[in-house]
Structure 1
Amino acid sequence: MTTTAALAPPVPTTSVPVIRADGVCLVRDGKVLLDSVSLTVRGGEHWALLGANGAGKSTLLGLLGAKTHPTLGSVEVLGRTLGRVDLRELRTLLGHVDPRHPLRSPLTVHDVVLTGLTNSVEPVPRWSARPEQRERAEGLLEMLGMGGKAKSRWPALSQGERGRTLIARALMPQPRLLLLDEPATGLDLAAREQLLDSLDALREENPELATVLVTHHLEELPASTTHAMLLRGGRCVASGAADEVLTTEQVSDCFGHPVRIARTDGRWTARAQRAVRR
């Protein structure tokens, strides 16, 4: 954290990259977690970061979400360079969805969504939302299929309902960038499909919004995914348009196992290739 100057409003144009990471390396306790990774995300693009466990996906997402600095290389988020900006202030301009949200209080769904305005887990004392902010929270819940659950309590929600609530919460500050860290974790089939349908609807309603989603399952990618990056051992295996990256050859190389990739009705599937017997 090198400055405490107030941040200027985000530049409202998709011509400026929302994210630009150039030659990023991250080393912790002598271990290389990311090695020379570069990524540019523009408004309206929807990226997927894929790879096996430990590939560096969530580590890269943490850099993009202004949670840490790179050891080498540069990261620009919304036109601000990490290392030259107050990370706490920058994080208020981002939408970050983590299914491991640490809330323990029995807040209502509506109140959980409102905490997205204060960037806090619990409601801030002596702070109250304006009528238009409450109306926005209600609209987001409706869009994400949670309109009938606004008065439900957090502990009573299913994992899928919590996921959609957290997306609404992340969208309250009207961010230009939404980061999703394995949002389908722990969901059953129906809940996963509801979540992915909600993400497709969200992206259609917000054409300038950029998103980056982390997963290691191709079946968890929404049909609206436009770009993908494959990571293995902290290095980029392939990056670019989704249909050019998510191929049988490149995904097999990324995961170190032969798989067959198919896309039907916009959604991807992966099946293990049978070994040829001689």
Structure 2
Amino acid sequence: MSDVLELVDVSVVRDGRALVDDVSWSVKEGERWVILGPNGAGKTTLLNIASSYLFPTKGTVSVLGERLGGVGTDVFDLRPRIGIAGVALAEKLPRRQTVLQTVLTAAYGMTATWNENYDKVDEDRARAFLDRLGMTEYLDRKFGTLSEGERKRTLIARAMMTDPELLLLDEPAAGLDLGGREDLVRRLGRLARDPYAPSMIMVTHHVEEIAPGFTHVLMIRQGKVLAAGPMETELTSRNLSLCFGLPLVVEHQGERYTARGLPLG
């Protein structure tokens, strides 16, 4: 399998502080990765590098076979091959735009409609992705009136519009109640198990948000990678305890994970 993403000795330094520190990591075609770690660990920084919107201070990054900063690499050609769903994007989308328009505009790399003439093929694709994520009855709803869960599902549908080769999900379950989280995890699981779906990287703080079908985990703390590899060997109580800085127990039941802290002595 070819590398979808490859980082070699990558650091990102801001104001003298390393946001990520000497990270080497590769994602291969068809893999579904979770980036797990506490607040400020460097998770979103890694995702921003993978999206080609952030270049490293040191080291080399290749995304979909294109080296960032390399001769002949045009990030404006590269970025449509990457689907992104996260809070930063949601804040740029017009609240008065309908759900269908919000997804459709991704076909042109836009955040808002601007006299585009969308093909029936584009509309059919947008409707199909929204249907897959349970949003068919919301097509004409204004984006700004959606619940947090509905908004997250709309963003994922939007991220799929360009047939991306790499799908990046930045804390997709953040802010959801229990029902909303479980509904989203169920739908992400169906996407992750689809053999035709793109390679995926999801950032989260919580092992409970890891959907069935995700294959690998990277744990990061204070910018350094503590563990990276197949979920079944790396998502352990020891590794999670080191990652979050307190004693934790990981339990694997069926296709889901849970974590709990040990009682105070």
Identify the TM-score tier after normalising by the shorter chain. over 0.9
Change (3 A) 1:206 1:111: farther
Q: How many residues align?
A: 261
| CA shift for structure 1 position 220 | 1.1
In the alignment, structure 2 segments of 5+ residues that lack a partner are none
Equivalent position to 1:225, from 206, 214, 217: 214
1:95 — aligned with what?
A: 83
With normalisation by structure 1, the TM-score equals 0.91
2:34 — aligned with what?
A: 48
| CA shift for structure 1 position 128 | 1.8
With normalisation by structure 2, the TM-score equals 0.95
What is the correspondence of 1:140-179 to structure 2 with a 5 Å cutoff? Answer: 140-179=129-168
Which secondary structure state, in structure 1, belongs to the residue aligned with residue 106 of structure 2? coil
The RMSD of aligned alpha carbons is: 1.2
- Bigger mean CA deviation after superposition, 102-111 or 128-137: 102-111
Equivalent position to 1:77, from 57, 60, 63: 63
Equivalent position to 1:182, from 171, 183, 198: 171
Which secondary structure state, in structure 2, belongs to the residue aligned with residue 205 of structure 1? coil
Counterparts of 2:132 and 2:66, CA distance in 1: 31
Per-residue CA deviation, residues 75-119 of structure 1 (Å, 9 max, x unaligned), is 111100000222233211100001341223311111101111122
| Percent identity of paired positions between Structure 1 and Structure 2 | 39
One-letter code of the match for 1:77? V
One-letter code of the match for 2:105? T
| CA shift for structure 1 position 208 | 4.8
Which secondary structure state, in structure 2, belongs to the residue aligned with residue 92 of structure 1? helix
| CA shift for structure 1 position 206 | 4.4
Equivalent position to 1:112, from 102, 119, 129: 102
In the alignment, structure 1 segments of 5+ residues that lack a partner are 1-14
| CA shift for structure 1 position 195 | 0.9
What is the correspondence of 1:53-64 to structure 2 with a 5 Å cutoff? Answer: 53-64=39-50
One-letter code of the match for 2:111? V
One-letter code of the match for 1:30? G
